Amino acid sequence: MELEGIVAAVTGGASGIGRALARRLSQQGATVAVADLDGPGARATAREINGLGVEADVTDEAAVAGLIERVERDLGPLELWCGNAGIGGPAGGVELSDEAWNRFWSVNVMAHVIAGRLLLPRWLERGSGHLLVTASAAGLLTNLGNAPYAATKHAAVALAEWMAIAYGDRGVRVSCLCPQGVRTPMTSADGDLAVEQVRALGLMEPEEVAEAVVEGLQADRFLILPHPEVAAYEQRRAGDRERWLAGMRRMQRDLGMEPPGP
């Protein structure tokens, strides 16, 4: 994908990976709209890159439709949508309430469904468009201590794969970003088992992830892995699931933390 001269939108752009990605796309010559539930944060990022900052809830279809209309009216045809907004807490398992599970589902999965529902008709008519789904290494593997995060990130990967297959021959490209540990507000909590897991494996800076995304988009790559070791982990998991499960239980014990549960 050629990034110079395109119009891109980045959700979750007030901080972390989204902010770094908006900056990096701008450096590549893209005109960038930055959206976030944190409106002031989105506008602050946009000011840095001479872009458009918009407060938007990615789980609200009317709000996302309004965002797309505004971007195309003010900036031009939207060629790249970076669905980067996501949530990681509260940690827990099946004991969490339906409300908590549904919140994960709305942000980590349905936001991508909504974006696809609104953008695909435009892109299919134009014969081009690129959707970047920010999932997680947890969507290829799993994580400790946070069942709804692992489950919804797996769903996000599956959705991205489905759209890549369904629309790849009609000019629409899909990429799926699956970083491991990244130094963002999401990894700042102490005592969280999932956070302790990624910290033990090492944290990458958001700017490094943004660089990997740019390289992946330019190479038209579906799976973007800023941590290349994740590919080896996924192969081991698929090759011997019992051994993988035993290894994850051992990691949980080594971290000295009790898993969540009733």
Q: Is 139 exposed, middle or buried (0-12, 13-18, 19+ CB in 10 A)?
A: buried
Which position among 104, 123, 149, 233 bears the catalytic label?
A: 149
Within 10 angstroms of residue 97's Cβ, the number of other Cβ atoms is: 10
Tell me the backbone φ, ψ of residue 36, rounded to 5 degrees.
Answer: -165, 155
Residue 149 designated active-site: yes
Among left, alpha and beta (phi > 0; psi -120 to 50; other), residue 116 is: alpha
- The single residue listed with the structure tokens 């409106």 is 39
**Cα dihedral angle (48, 50, 51, 55), rounded to 10 degrees?**
50
Residue 154 host element (H or E): helix 147-167
Instruction: List active site positions.
Output: 149
